[in-house]
A and B are shown apart, each in its own frame.
Chain A
Amino acid sequence: MGAVPLRKLPPGLWRGLALAAAVAYPWLVNDYWVDVMNFCGIYMLLGLSLNIIVGYAGLFNLGHAAFYAVGAYTTAILSTRFGIPSLWLLPVSALAAAAFAYVISRPIIHLRGDYLCVVTIGFGEIVRIALINNPGGLTGGVNGIIGVPRPDLGLFTVRSVDQYYYFILFFIVLFVWGMGRLERSRIGRAWTCIREDETAAEAMGIDTASLKLLAFVLGAAGAGLAGNIYATKMTLVAPEGFNFWESCVMFCIVVLGGTGSIPGVIVASLGMAALPELFREFARARMLVFGLAMVLMMIFRPQGLWPSAHWRRQVKRESGVTPMPSAGSPAQ
C-alpha cells in the first residue's frame, strides 16, 4: 500500500470516507459544533445550487439570496397562515423559487457577464425591500415571521441539533449525487459548452436560451429548498437574513472553492463557516481578512481551492494560459 500514491486510490473510497466522517461527526463533538456545521450545511446546499448557475452554465448570479428568500418565506407564510406541515412545503418552496426564477430571468437571460450580475443584484435588493415593506401584510415587515413549525417526519419531529444535522446531511448527499449526474448528462455538457463559447454552442444546435433558463430554474429550486430548511430550523424568517451579503457569500463559496467543482463548494463552505468560529478573538477583523482572501485567491489561485476536473484538464493542455471560464463581456 505504501507505494500507491494517494491520487491513485479509487475516488469511491474517498467519498465513502468523507461520508463516514460526516455521519460520525455529531458523536465526536458537542452540540455547539454540530450547530455550526448545520449552518455550514445550509450554505453547502446554497453553494451547490448556485454552482449550477455560476459553475455549470457560467451565468453570474449575485442575487441568489432572492431565491433563498422566496423559499423561506413561502414556507413561513403557508405554514403559519394555513397550518400546512412544513415538510410538505419542502417541494412547494422549491417550486415557488423555481417559478419566481423563471419569471424574473426570462426577460434578462440574454444579458451577459457583468450586466447579468448587476441585474441579479437589483432583483436581490428589490426582493429584500419588498419583504421589508410588507406587501399585503404577508411578510411581516422588518421583524419577519415567527413560529414556523418544525418538519414532522411521521415517526418523529426534527428538532434537536443532531436530528437537523442528519436531516441536512440527507439533502447534501442528495444534491451531490444529483449534481454529479447532472454534470455528466446531456444537459450538463450543453451548459459547459455554453459557458465556454456561447456562439459555438448555438452553432452546434444547442438551445442556449432555454438551457440558461433551466440553469436558473434548477439553481433557484435548490435555494428554495434550502430556504425551507433554514425557516424551519430557525423557526423565524426576517429580511436581513437575505441581504446582498448573503448572495455575496454564496457566490464566493462557488468561486473560491473552484467554479463548477462539487468538492470545491463543500470545502469552501466548510472554510467559510468554520474558520470564523476558530478565530473568534479576531471576530471584528474577520470580514477584513475575508475580503483580503477574496482578492489574494483571485490573484494567486484563480482556479479555486479544489478546481473542477475540467479545469485541471485544460491546464494540462495549455499550461501557462489561464482557462478561466469567461462568461463573455457584453462589449465583446
Chain B
Amino acid sequence: MPRPLPRCGAGGSMEEFVQQLLNGLTVGSGYALVALGYTMVYGVLKLINFAHGDLFMLGTYLAVSMAVSCLGAGLASPWVVLPIIFLTSMGLVGVAGVLIERTAYRPLRGAGHLAPVVSALGAAVVIQNAVMLAYGANYQVFPEGLVPEARWIVAGMNIPVLRVAMLVLSLILMAILYLFIQRTTVGAAIRATSLDHDTARLMGIDINRIIMLVFLIGPALGAASGIMIGLYYRQVYFTMGWIYGLKAFTAAILGGIGNIPGAMVGGMILGLFETLAAGYISSAWKDAFAFVLLIAILVLRPTGLLGERVVEKL
C-alpha cells in the first residue's frame, strides 16, 4: 500500500480501540468488495483470477484520470465528479474483466489446472505493465479538494467523514449484490452455474453469458473498492493491486471460497484482524499477519468459516 495506516499507539484506551475497530471495518469492507470478485469467479470457473488485483489497480488509475479531466473541464462539485468517476471507472474495469475472460481464460477452459494459472499470471503482468507504460512508474495522485476533509468529533474521538462514507458505500454495494444474487432470476442462474455447469446448461442457462456477467460485476466492484482506497490515501501505485489482491483473496478463503456472504464476512474479519494486530502487536508485520491467517485457515479449516459448500478431497 502507498502509505501505512495511521498507527494509533498501543495505549489500550477505549477510544483508541474504537478507532481501531472503525479502521478495521473500513479496511475490511474494502477487502470484502475485492474478495467478492475472487469468490464469484472461483464459484463459476474454479479459477483464481490472479488478474483481479490488477483490475482493482486499473480502476484507481482510471479514476485518477477521470478526476483530473473532470476538474480540468471545470466540474468541481464532488456530488457531480464522484458519481462520474465511480460509474465510468467501474464500467471500464468491468469491460476489461470481460475482455480478459474472453482472451486469456475462455480458450483454456477444460485444459487442466496449470494452464489457466499461468495465463492468469500473464494477464496480471500485462495489465500492470500496460498501466506502468501508459502512466509512468511514479505514484499518481488524486487532485486536491475532491473529497471533503471534514471530521466528526464523537465522544472525544476524531472520525474522518470519508472513512464512514467508504464503509457505508461498501455496505450498500454488498447489500445490492446480495439481493441481486439471492432474489433475481439472473442471480439464481449464477448460483446454479456455480453448483454445476452441466445441470445449469440443461436448465436453459447460457453458461458463457453468466461467466461474462460474473467477470463484469466482480472487477466493477473491485474498481469501486480501489477508487475508495485511492481517494482515502490520495495516491495510487501500479503495483498496489498485487498485495491488496492477495489479501482480498485471503478474505475470500477465510469466508469459504465460492461463498458470497462468506467473502463479505471474511473481508471484515481480515480487516479487523489486520488492523488490531498492526495496532497492538506490530505494524511492520501487518502484511505477514494476513498471510499467517490465510495459512492457518487453510490448514485448520479449509472450507472457510462459512464453508457450507462442501469442498471434497482437499
Interface residues of A (CB under 8 A from B): 60, 107-108, 110-115, 117-119, 121-123, 125-126, 129-130, 132-133, 244, 248, 251-252, 255-256, 259, 284-285, 287-288, 290-295, 297-299, 302, 322, 324-332
Contact = CB atoms under 8 A, between A and B. Distances in A.
A325 B117 CA distance: 13
A251 B298 CA distance: 22
Given A117-B117, A284-B133, A295-B104, A133 B285 contact: yes
B235 interface: no
Contacts of A331: 46, 258, 311-312
B96 to A, nearest CB: 14
Contact of A291 (B126, B246, B253): B126
A113 B115 CA distance: 12
Interface string B133-149: 10000000000000000
Given A122-B295, A288-B130, A111 B118 contact: no
B111 A324 contact: yes
B163 to A, nearest CB: 26
Contact of A125 (B104, B291, B299, B312): B291
Contact of B242 (A112, A244, A291, A326): A244
Given A244-B242, A298-B115, A326-B112, A288 B133 contact: yes
Interface residues of B, number: 50
B312 A291 contact: no
Interface string B102-118: 01100110111111111
B117 to A, nearest CB: 6
A123 B246 CA distance: 12
B121 A248 contact: yes
Contacts of B48: 114, 117-118
B288 interface: yes
For the complex of A and B, 10 pairs with smallest distance between CB atoms? A294-B122, A291-B125, A324-B112, A291-B126, A122-B291, A295-B122, A288-B129, A326-B112, A298-B119, A129-B288
A287 B122 CA distance: 10
13 contacts: A113-B113, A122-B291, A125-B288, A133-B284, A287-B128, A287-B129, A291-B121, A291-B122, A295-B122, A299-B108, A324-B112, A328-B313, A330-B302
A112 B246 CA distance: 18
Residue picked from A108, A115, A130, most chain B C-beta under 10 Å:
A115
A328 B113 contact: yes
Residue picked from A117, A284, A291, most chain B C-beta under 10 Å:
A291
B287 interface: yes
A75 to B, nearest CB: 24
B314 interface: yes
Nearest to B246: A121
B123 interface: yes
Contacts, number: 152
Residue picked from B48, B113, B129, most chain A C-beta under 10 Å:
B113
A327 B314 contact: no
User: SS class of chain A's interface: helix, strand, loop or mixed?
Assistant: helix
Nearest to B126: A291
B69 to A, nearest CB: 25
A232 B223 CA distance: 44
A53 B129 CA distance: 29
Given A107-B299, A294-B118, A287 B125 contact: yes
A309 B114 CA distance: 18
Contacts of A122: 246, 250, 291-292, 294-295
Nearest to B249: A118
Interface in B225-272: 242-243, 246, 249-250, 253, 258
B246 A114 contact: no
Contacts of B291: 122-123, 125-126
B124 interface: yes
Given A288-B133, A324-B114, A327-B114, A294 B288 contact: no
A129 B243 CA distance: 12
Given A125-B246, A129-B288, A331-B312, A108 B295 contact: yes
B118 A327 contact: no
Residue picked from B108, B110, B118, B250, most chain A C-beta under 10 Å:
B118
A298 B249 CA distance: 23
B40 to A, nearest CB: 15
Given A133-B284, A259-B114, A326-B113, 16 more contacts: A115-B314, A122-B246, A122-B250, A125-B246, A126-B288, A126-B292, A130-B288, A284-B133, A288-B130, A291-B126, A295-B104, A295-B123, A298-B115, A298-B116, A298-B118, A331-B46
